[in-house]
Chain A
Amino acid sequence: MTVAPEFSDVDVPEGYVKLTVDGEEVVAPKGELLIRTAERLGTVIPRFCDHPLLDPAGACRQCLVEVEMNGRAMPKPQASCTMTVADGMVVKTQVTSEVADKAQQGVMELLLINHPLDCPICDKGGECPLQNQAMAHGRTDSRFVDKKRTFPKPLPISSQVLLDRERCVLCQRCTRFSDQIAGDPFIELLERGSHQQIGTAETADVLDAASHTSSGQPFQSYFSGNTIQICPVGALTSSQYRFRSRPFDLVSTPSVCEHCSSGCAERTDFRRGKVMRKLAGEDPDVNEEWICDKGRFAFRYAAAEQRIRRPLVRSAETGELEEVSWTEALRAAADGLVKARDGKGAGVLPGGRVTLEDAYSYGKFARMALRTHDVDHRARAHSDEELDFLASRVVSDGGPAGGGVTFADLEAAPVALCVAFEPEEESPAVFLRLRKGARAGDVKVVHIGQWASPAVDKTFGELLACPPGGEADAVEGIAEHAPDLDEALRADGAVVLVGERAAEVPGLPTALHHLAERTGARLAWIPRRAGERGAVEAGTLPTLLPGGRPVADADARAEVERHWGLEAGTLPAEPGRDVTGMLNAIVTRDLGGLLVGGVDLDDLPDPALARKAFDAAEFVVSLELLPSTVTPYADVVLPIAPVDEKGGTFVNWEGRRRPFTVTLDGTGALTDCRVLDTLGVEMDTDLFTQTPDAALGDLDRLGAPKGTGAAKGTSGALSAPKGTLGALNAPKVPLGAPTAPPTPGSGQALLATWRQLVDDGSLQIDEPALAGTARRVVARMSRATADGLGDHVTVSTGRGSVTLPVEITDMPDGVVWLPGNAPDAKLRATLGAGHGAVVDIAGGDR
């Protein structure tokens, strides 16, 4: 019997309790788990099932400690991961208690009874919590000499995730993750007693490919990779990383995901100059500890066989691209661009995947070397209305430091309205936050879209269905048709999230602007590509200079001219052309040359026009990683570095800067900003963007527009905080009117479409295991629309057709939904049509 320790009279604040852990007095917030209290004191209690972001389960019993309450010892050791602190509690961990230590050793021995001697062939070996804790808290030998329980292995849960049931310690981290965080039916605990195992409905008796969930649906989750990372043993492994290396081989660098605008923190592990895997990094402000499977598994594009590693110049004799030296290529590029500039002019298409530094360099190159505002990074559907929207609502929202919407705000918002935005497909980290908030009961999620996508269900959301193109009307009609939503949007903290698809819906940006003005709800623009927000800040738009300065504003131009050392009045006063404007101008021979970054012609609103224009262009310079649809038209191709081989900064949708450093050093690959700088020198222009640091420094010295009274924030404030906008940056309100969506005739339908996370994107090449987890490619329509069509539907326009299996979905009649860029259905390329277009539908067969 221990003597109850004397409590000193330390002040215990409200909401806190005082207890003793290993003889040390601690004050802990009420509700804190013992395991965390001990951790704060520096005592790590061994654990398997406990995870700070998952609900406590008490499944593994490894964390046993001795607990005494009110002077009486509890009869048995208690699980410290499920027990919360209480006043006067006396806790003894393995450090001071023989009983706790022995209990922990006992549990470890039991866990190891059926654990195979797999360490040499197990991917977790070397970074395995079971190995480590067995060494630290286990017995030196086992008393168990009988045959171990075996299972056939490995069992594919999906094409990416492999399950080895022999190694599983039944901690249920994976099942709790799928259930609580991702909301996807993944794997479950099956059977009882010594037969207890993790599996899907089919794995229990089907021994081969069992990639179906209990509902008979093929297993798909965009977050399955997280279970691999949190599994405390090697029971879940990925087919991509399987047997590739050991932790001691790997050099880890923190990195930032380049796939979407969430800018998740990652850890990139490489071995001998080759990236082996990516893991979720920890950033409580952004992605917590989770990333999506695309961010985790899609990285081998950078090491692809076909990567362009030497500059190419089209030979005058053969008409083929030929490898040349950098000097020669840069001279050819500079000569061609100077000729084009001095003739009809040249434009710049940086693409949406640029870093802030690279975007700034593209913009500066356009303005200084090509002397034009013809620069537009929007390699997707775009509109003038969107331009105004970006200039007035996005670039000036100030980022997290200036009161812009943040991830944390999503979690706490009373209502989150998603318009023309599919969080799970377009920005998965946003989806996880919304789900987290909704699951806690704080956030009500409302979607304005066409059908109740899985994201709607998993955020316990409500769908306001409208035909594609009718989103603007739906937003305008909120006050009238959904008064409670209107009311909710007036509440403090309400947010409206809009995706890049808004550019395709006439009147939608304006309607959202009005909605925000009317209700006071905060607006966040969440584009799909990682570089879009940064590019807006860096001014790669025909109407915007860096820092959100309008081109049309003489003072803003003068300020930029001074900073760049240009003579006053050098920058044209007229805004430039947008992407479509440039392409049209080339076709009509009003523009001669193009400098193109990472742009795929099939992403542009009209790929046929784009091809025609590129064919007609006098001179095309392409800065690319891999041969693309631009390469056949390029006169000069300059290879650039993928994110792993360069440093830089992404700006995520919040406006938060996400800096990252180079992972693979010394590969010789050059950043876009360096290539542009050198190209500038060849054209007698100094951009001062030799390195990302130099480019960023230059951008930051330019800072926010003067006269706005905005102090330049150090923590990623990109422009003036809200409410302090001076006359200089007065929002030019987008002025678009909703046009009623066209009415489809018989045999026709309105096309609804968005891109799915895992699809035929160019950064997902060489990843068969990831591709296997893509959602099934189907055409969705209502029963009435599908009537008489059969199992397959052929959707066509004058350009081409796509045939896909039909899935009956609850959605407005006369609408067909297709995935945007699935392997069998590359919509823009084949149909030349996008969201809201009228298409012909007919029964089709395969």
Chain B
Amino acid sequence: MGIFDPVKGFGVTFGMMFKKVATEEYPEIGAPAAPRYHGRHQLNRHPDGLEKCVGCELCAWACPADAIFVEGGDNTEEERYSPGERYGADYQINYLRCIGCGLCVEACPTRSLTMINFYELADDNRQDLIWTKEDLLAPLLPGMEQPPHPMRLGDNEQDYYVGGPALARGRGVPEQETVETDTEEAVR
């Protein structure tokens, strides 16, 4: 063992100080996930704020982990949450069960259910890991209104599905927001 050996060892340490750091400063600085990362779910809205979810339970059906509970409800003229007859009255995702596979998103016929980047799903009790509809619903963007309210963008649900994106622009939803756009549609 040479006399300089201990110093040599420090040399490695010292040298590392000038290299690029691989450590992520989490949670102080946070770590954004990749743009298409499957984080938590979100229940989207129509451009006027009505919910897209029709309470069909197809997501619950598709889920291999039985993480989703949905119960449908009946829209009335006085109390309307989504265009059409049916809405998701009760919606829960149990994040203790969810494996983030995204099959539910594939199953959703209305594009109500999507996944966003948010992944901080940890807690110290079970109760708080069952996310309910209130937690999952997308925030109200400009031009949106908290349901229940009447259909603002058409006379029936068909108008929403056929002409929705264009109507959304008309209501001032900014271009970069996640509403299916005309161009997107054209590409498809």
A763 smallest CB distance to B (angstroms): 25
- Tell whether A741 is near chain B: CB-to-CB under 8 Å: no
| B73 and A243 contact, CB distance less than 8 A | yes
| B54 and A121 contact, CB distance less than 8 A | yes
Residues in A with CB closer than 8 Å to B73 are 243
| A121 and B56 contact, CB distance less than 8 A | yes
Residue from A126, A243, A272 within 8 A of B74 (CB atoms)? A243
| A242 and B71 contact, CB distance less than 8 A | no
- Tell whether B95 is near chain A: CB-to-CB under 8 Å: no
Residues in B with CB closer than 8 Å to A98 are none
B59 smallest CB distance to A (angstroms): 10
Q: Which B-chain residue is minimally distant from A239 (CB atoms)?
A: B74
In the bound assembly, the distance between CA atoms of A249 and B55 in angstroms comes to 13
A832 smallest CB distance to B (angstroms): 43
In the bound assembly, the distance between CA atoms of A125 and B58 in angstroms comes to 10
Residues in A with CB closer than 8 Å to B69 are 272
| A249 and B57 contact, CB distance less than 8 A | yes
In the bound assembly, the distance between CA atoms of A243 and B76 in angstroms comes to 13
Contacts A243-B55, A243-B72; is A121 near B61 (CB within 8 Å)?
Answer: no
Residue from B56, B71, B74 within 8 A of A120 (CB atoms)? B56
- Tell whether A142 is near chain B: CB-to-CB under 8 Å: no
- Tell whether A132 is near chain B: CB-to-CB under 8 Å: no
**What class of interface size applies to chain B in its complex with A?**
10 to 19
In the bound assembly, the distance between CA atoms of A121 and B108 in angstroms comes to 12
Interface 1/0s, chain A 128-167, versus B by CB < 8 A?
A: 0000000000000000000000000110000000000000
Contacts A121-B86, A154-B85; is A245 near B54 (CB within 8 Å)?
Answer: no
| A242 and B57 contact, CB distance less than 8 A | no
Interface residues in A, total, Cβ within 8 A: 14
Residues in A with CB closer than 8 Å to B71 are 243-245
- Tell whether A248 is near chain B: CB-to-CB under 8 Å: yes
A203 smallest CB distance to B (angstroms): 17
| A243 and B61 contact, CB distance less than 8 A | no
| A120 and B58 contact, CB distance less than 8 A | yes
Interface 1/0s, chain A 99-142, versus B by CB < 8 A?
A: 00000000000000000000011000110000000000000000
Residue from B60, B84, B89 within 8 A of A121 (CB atoms)? B84
Residue from A153, A154, A246 within 8 A of B57 (CB atoms)? A246
| B85 and A121 contact, CB distance less than 8 A | yes
Residues in A with CB closer than 8 Å to B56 are 120-121, 125
| A244 and B57 contact, CB distance less than 8 A | no
- Tell whether B109 is near chain A: CB-to-CB under 8 Å: yes
- Tell whether B110 is near chain A: CB-to-CB under 8 Å: yes
Q: Which A-chain residue is minimally distant from B110 (CB atoms)?
A: A120
Residues in A with CB closer than 8 Å to B55 are 121, 243
In the complex, chain A residues 627-656 whose Cβ is within 8 Å of any chain B Cβ: none
In the bound assembly, the distance between CA atoms of A272 and B110 in angstroms comes to 26
In the bound assembly, the distance between CA atoms of A243 and B69 in angstroms comes to 13
Residues in B with CB closer than 8 Å to A243 are 55, 71-74, 86, 89
Q: Which B-chain residue is minimally distant from A153 (CB atoms)?
A: B85
In the bound assembly, the distance between CA atoms of A154 and B89 in angstroms comes to 19
In the bound assembly, the distance between CA atoms of A245 and B89 in angstroms comes to 11
Residues in B with CB closer than 8 Å to A120 are 54, 56, 58, 109-110
In the bound assembly, the distance between CA atoms of A242 and B89 in angstroms comes to 12
B85 smallest CB distance to A (angstroms): 6
In the complex, chain A residues 267-320 whose Cβ is within 8 Å of any chain B Cβ: 272
B174 smallest CB distance to A (angstroms): 30
Interface 1/0s, chain A 610-637, versus B by CB < 8 A?
A: 0000000000000000000000000000
New A-B contacts (11) at CB < 8 Å, excluding given A154-B85, A244-B72, A248-B61: A120-B54, A121-B54, A126-B61, A242-B74, A243-B71, A243-B89, A245-B57, A246-B57, A246-B61, A249-B57, A272-B69
What are 21 A-B residue pairs whose CB atoms fall within 8 Å in the complex?
Answer: A120-B56, A120-B109, A121-B54, A121-B55, A121-B56, A121-B72, A121-B86, A125-B56, A126-B61, A153-B85, A243-B71, A243-B73, A243-B74, A243-B86, A243-B89, A244-B71, A244-B72, A246-B61, A248-B61, A249-B57, A249-B60
By Cβ-Cβ distance, the 3 closest A-B pairs, closest first, are: A243-B72, A120-B56, A121-B86
